[in-house]
Amino acid sequence: MNGRRFSWSRWVSIVIKEFIQLKRDRLTFGMIVGIPVIQVLLFGFAINSDPKSLPTAVVSLDNGRYTRTIVSALKNTNYFRFVHEAASMAEADEMIERGKVQFVVTIPAGFERALVRGDRPQLLIEADATDPSATGPALAAVNLALTTALAHDLQGVTGDLAGGSSAVDVRIQRRYNPEGITAYNIVPGLLGVILTMTMVLMTGLAMTRERERGTFENLLATPALPVEVMTGKIIPYILIGLIQVTLALLAASYVFSVPIEGSLVLLYAVVLVFIAANLTLGITFSSIARNQLQAMQMTFFFFLPSILLSGFMFPFRGMPEWAQVIGSLLPLTHFLVLVRGILLKGATLPELYSSIWPILAFMGAILLLGLKFYRKTLD
Amino acid sequence: MNADLVVDVQGLNKHFGPRHVVKDFSLQVRRGEIFGFLGPNGSGKTTSIRMLCGLLTPDSGSGTCLGHDVIRETASIKREVGYMTQRFSLWEDLTIAENLDFVARMYGMRLRRKVVDDAIDALGLGSRRNQLAGSLSGGWKQRMALAACMLHQPKLLLLDEPTAGVDPKARRDFWEEIHKLAATGISVLVSTHYMDEAERCHRLAYIAYGALLTSGTVDEVVAQQALATWTVSGPDLPQLQVALEKLGGVADVTQFGNALHVTGTDADALDRATAALRASGPQRWERSTATLEDVFIHLMRDTKDNYQ
Ligand SMILES: Nc1ncnc2c1ncn2[C@@H]1O[C@H](COP(=O)(O)OP(=O)(O)OP(=O)(O)O)[C@@H](O)[C@H]1O
Ligand SMILES: [Mg+2]
């Protein structure tokens, strides 16, 4: 039965047909180019919020009682949540790099002695500032909290210090985005938002459009196989996705001077994975939907939580737990971590695995669903 | 299996939700035969044709199309059958040439360019080959779709109302072409609502509300119903029609041009019922034989719409 074998020439003709149709659809074509540029420009402005309970690691090289005072003072601000006590600064560094914690508080050796002597010892707080709206309010609260807490503890020990100025010298180190520019955070995130919207929507419409216009019947009557049709329809959109990413990156880099610290090759590789996940979802939507309107509604049903719960609109860690659980199922959430990691932190592949596999898992699950729903006949 | 039967299906059934759309459908089409498929709107013609070429899976039943199983071997059927959909289903945003080229590629045709060029020339659309298909008039779309489904030289053509909206000249050309193809051994199953087309078929089948009511040659179909018929001409036919419709023994009264066809299933009963009017009226009454149209109208009146 050679009728069941994949035919490259049929596949190529389906790809060509899609390109021709796309070329004739001027409006869609304009949107593909327009959306990334316009959105990057529009969203370049900050959206501020006040997230609490951010994961923090502490590196305590001095185990005196003041360490506990400092930790509990920070905890009492509600901004910091101590999740880990790191043995070394290297370990803490790695955690911040992987995005496991937002802050690392380092209490240097000899802290207590210096404090009691009134030497104003240094207290180092490192912040992952890729998303400045997440770290800003927390850092602003640090000084006051520490001054009040230590003043109470130090009373009677060094009376003169307790009165006015701070007993410690808090050094804040913002990493990855030292100036706290919001556009640095928003613009890379937009890459993901743009891709989610256009990829899911356009493939969602691809199949339902054929069905609505009646041309699906003709396609079904030819020997073309479902897999040829499905993948053949996807190819043009992969290319479109890459064009969009390039346009958005150019806009980000020229208009907002967003740095590109990491490897562009790695970035595009990650983008391809993300595009694939979204296209899978789009094709699945278009197998389930009866018409274009339904496909559109399904896209928005998926798009809204993606925007709201992925950490694009609001800092991920500022959201309630249930929202974080939903958010962590969405590919966009992980894609944001990946893009910010590569663009701002210069992250490399090994640090990114933990964010890549959830996207792949999502894709696998959706693919199974899509194959289950693909209709080989008109019933 | 009979090698001369290109279509041989038994007991096909199809439901859409609770609606039983095709009921125990059996059909045999011989090689080189033009088989007409008739029936009122919504009777299940399109659904039956789709089941023959693998676009719909029957709920039950079995059979073969070109020797391939209609349930398991749809891929093979698709390669050898030319199916023309009732609704225009080529791509309106591709040009005529692009459409035909795409279809030819789907069937992996050798000499694709030549085949497509020949088809376009045969259609007489050479000068318009780069025009978008969507900008063609309805009749031209129909003719192009017909050309497209014959590109890959199928052994069996399944044509779903191929001449709807086509002008008389093109319709005659089409039927001449079909007869030529049939002479070379290609079989054609064609659905239509036109009586003149039905009469040009070698055999035909009539389906109503999902059930096959009758099949055979035109003469056989007419003979099977054994309708007695009077043709009435003269003045005041509308009033006469109203009067006739009230009579028992009269099955149908239909206006054909300037005459009324009065039919009944029982010749004696019809004669008795109409005797008074025949004697008194100013109209001229003639005995005639039932036409195919009389038969179909009778069949249509007889079957109840079970969807209401
Ligand atoms: N995909 C579908 N889903 C639900 N019902 C359907 C579907 N396709 C057809 N039907 C119903 O099945 C019945 C038969 O339809 P079909 O198109 O086969 O009729 P037809 O004989 O081709 O009519 P026409 O002469 O108008 O073309 C109709 O009542 C129609 O509403
Ligand atoms: Mg029909």
Per-residue confidence (pLDDT) for residue A173, from 0 to 100: 78
CA A3 to ligand 1 centroid distance, Å: 29
Q: Does A148 touch chain B (CB under 8 A)?
A: no
> What is the percentage of chain A residues whose pLDDT exceeds 90?
16
Q: Quick one: pLDDT at residue A43?
A: 66
Give B100-135 as a DSSP string: HHHHHHHTT-TTHHHHHHHHHHHHT-GGGTTSBGGG
Percentage of chain A modeled with pLDDT above 70: 90
- Indicate yes or no: CB of A222 within 8 angstroms of CB of B103: yes
Q: Where are the domains of chain B?
A: 1-80+154-217, 90-151, 228-289
Question: HSE-up of B261 (CA within 13 Å, CB side)?
Answer: 21
Lowest mean pLDDT among A116-125, A208-217, B67-76: A116-125
> Shortest CA distance to A218 belongs to which of A14, A371, A5, A12?
A14
For residue B306, how far is its CA from the centre of ligand 1 (angstroms)?
Answer: 14
User: Which chain B residue's Cα is nearest to A213?
Assistant: B89
Is the per-residue pLDDT at A373 higher than 80? no
Q: Do B91 and A221 touch (CB under 8 A)?
A: no
CA distances from B120 to A214, B9, B52, B100, B145 (A): 23, 35, 28, 8, 11
CATH class of the region B228-289: alpha beta
**Structure confidence by residue, pLDDT tens digits, A70-79:** 888 888 888 8
Spatial contact of B109 and B117, defined as CB atoms under 8 Å apart: no
- Taking contacts as CB-CB distances below 8 angstroms, the residues of chain B near A5 are none
Model pLDDT for residues A233-265, shown as the tens digit of each residue: 888 888 888 988 898 888 878 877 777 888 899
The DSSP bridge pattern shows strands B5-16 and B60-65 to be antiparallel
Residue B90, SS3 per DSSP: coil
Range with lowest mean pLDDT among A150-164, A296-310, B96-110: A150-164
A228 closest CA partner among A374, A379, A364, A365: A374
In this prediction, residue B59 carries a pLDDT of 93
**If you average pLDDT over residues A89-111, what whole number do you get?**
85
Cα B147 to ligand 2 centroid, rounded to whole Å: 20
Residues in A closer than 8 angstroms to B90, CB to CB, are 215, 218
Q: Which of A341, A7, A371 is nearest to A192 (CA)?
A: A341
d(CA A314, CA A51): 8
Q: Which atom of ligand 1 is nearest to the CA of B40?
A: 25
Is the CB of residue B102 less than 8 Å away from at least one CB of chain A?
A: yes
Give pLDDT, residue A125: 87
The model's confidence at residue A364, banded by pLDDT at 50, 70 and 90, is very high
DSSP class of A170 = E
Taking an 8 Å cut-off on Cβ atoms, the answer to whether A224 and B88 are in contact is no
Nearest atom within ligand 1 for CA of residue B307: 29
Q: How confident is the model at residue A141 (pLDDT cuts 50, 70, 90)?
A: confident
CB-nearest to A215 from B79, B89, B108 is: B89
Residue A164, pLDDT > 80, answer no
B94 interaction partners in chain A (CB closer than 8 Å): 17, 20-21
Q: What's the token pair of residue A96?
A: 């911040």
B43, B160, B192, best to mutate for ligand 1 pocket (most atoms within 8 Å of CB) = B43
Residue A135 has pLDDT above 90, yes or no: no
pLDDT by residue for chain B (308 residues), tens digit each?
Answer: 566 899 999 999 999 989 999 999 999 999 999 999 999 899 999 999 999 988 999 999 999 999 999 999 988 999 999 999 999 999 999 999 999 999 999 998 888 999 999 999 988 888 889 999 999 988 889 889 999 999 999 999 999 999 988 889 889 988 998 899 899 999 999 999 998 999 999 999 999 888 888 899 988 988 888 888 888 888 888 888 888 888 887 888 888 888 888 888 888 888 888 888 888 878 888 888 888 888 888 887 766 544 43
Q: What is the pLDDT of residue B306?
A: 43
pLDDT of residue A47: 44
Mind telling me how many Å the CA of B38 is from chain A's nearest CA? 22
Which amino acids bring their CB within 6 angstroms of ligand 1?
B 16, 21, 39, 41-47, 86
Q: Stretch A133-137: mean pLDDT, rounded?
A: 75
pLDDT at B242: 85
Q: Whole-model pTM above 0.80?
A: no
How many CA atoms within 13 Å lie on the side-chain side of A222? 31
Match 């693919």 to its residue by tokens. Answer: A367
Cβ distance B105 to A14 under 8 Å?
no
* pLDDT value at A10 more than 70: yes
Spatial neighbors of A298 by CB under 8 A, at least 6 apart, are A204, A285, A288, A289
Tens-digit pLDDT profile for residues A169-184: 888 877 776 666 566 7
| Percentages (nearest 5) of helix, strand, coil residues in chain B | 40, 30, 30
- Give the C-alpha separation, A203 to A16, whole Å: 16
Closest CA to A145 of A75, A50, A62, A224: A75
Q: Cα of B209 to ligand 1 centre, how many Å?
A: 10
Residue from B45, B53, B161 to probe ligand 1 pocket by mutation (most atoms less than 8 Å from CB): B45
Measured at the CA of A81, the angle between CA A75 and CA A85, to 5 degrees, comes to 100
Nearest-CA residue for atom 27 of ligand 1: B41
CB contact B89 to A (< 8 Å)? yes
Å from CA of B86 to ligand 2 middle: 6
Tell me, what's the pLDDT at B198? 92
In chain B, the residue whose alpha carbon lies closest to the alpha carbon of A22 is: B93
Is A268 in contact with A242 (CB distance < 8 Å)?
yes
pLDDT at A182: 61
- State the closest ligand 1 atom to the C-alpha of B44, by its place in the atom list counted from 1: 18
Q: Burial code of B166-204, b = ≥16 C-beta within 10 A, e = fewer?
A: beeebbeebbeebeebbeeebbbbbbbeeeebbebbbbb
**Contacts with B91 from chain A: Cβ below 8 Å:** 17, 21, 213, 215
> What's residue A93's pLDDT?
85
**ipTM for the predicted complex:** 0.83
The answer on pLDDT for A2 being more than 50 is: no
Instruction: Return the residue whose CA atom lies nearest to atom 17 of ligand 1.
Output: B46
What amino acid occupies position A352?
Answer: L
Q: Average pLDDT, whole number, for chain A? A: 82
Partner-chain contact A223 B107, CB within 8 Å = yes
Residue B236 pLDDT: 82
State the pLDDT at residue A157: 59
Most distant CA atoms of chain A, gap in Å: 94
Q: How far apart are CA A327 and CA A306, in angstroms?
A: 7
- The residue to mutate among B12, B20, B25, B46, having the most atoms of ligand 1 within 8 angstroms of its beta carbon, is B46
B1-80+154-217 CATH, one of 3.30.360.10, 3.40.50.10680, 3.30.2040.10, 3.40.50.300: 3.40.50.300
What b/e string do you get for B120-145 counting C-beta neighbours within 10 Å, with b at 16 or more?
beebebeebbeebbeebeeebbbbbb
Q: Identify whether the C-beta of residue B161 lies closer than 8 Å to the C-beta of residue B139.
A: no
Which of A36-40, A278-282, B100-104, B168-172 holds the top average pLDDT?
A: B100-104
Q: Given pLDDT bands bounded at 50, 70 and 90, which one contains residue A270?
A: very high
